[in-house]
């Protein structure tokens, strides 16, 4: 059975857990509607992306 040779220090343990934090999404204000939208995503209400009509919007 595998047994650790040394105790894992608090520093090493916490460094390993550095990726467990929740990620924060970058929200910006839409230029046309003023609503918060995520960057580099299509606005599903209007169907616009970078000022161009990409898909038909929901109504």
Tens-digit pLDDT profile for residues 34-57: 888 888 888 888 888 888 888 887
In a domain, 17, yes or no: no
Q: Is the pTM of this model over 0.75?
A: no
In a domain, 53, yes or no: yes
In a domain, 12, yes or no: no
Domains of the chain: total: 1
Residue 17 DSSP SS3: helix
In a domain, 3, yes or no: no
Decide if pLDDT at 10 tops 80: yes
Structural domain of residue 56, as residue ranges? 24-59
Is-contact 30 36, C-beta < 8 A? yes
In a domain, 14, yes or no: no
In a domain, 9, yes or no: no
């Amino acid at each position: 059975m595998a047994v650790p040779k040394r105790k894992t220090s608090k520093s090493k343990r916490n460094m390993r857990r550095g990726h467990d934090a929740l990620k924060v999404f970058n929200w910006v204000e839409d230029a046309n509607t003023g609503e918060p939208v995520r960057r580099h995503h299509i606005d599903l209400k209007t169907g616009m992306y970078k000022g161009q009509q990409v898909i038909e919007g929901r109504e």
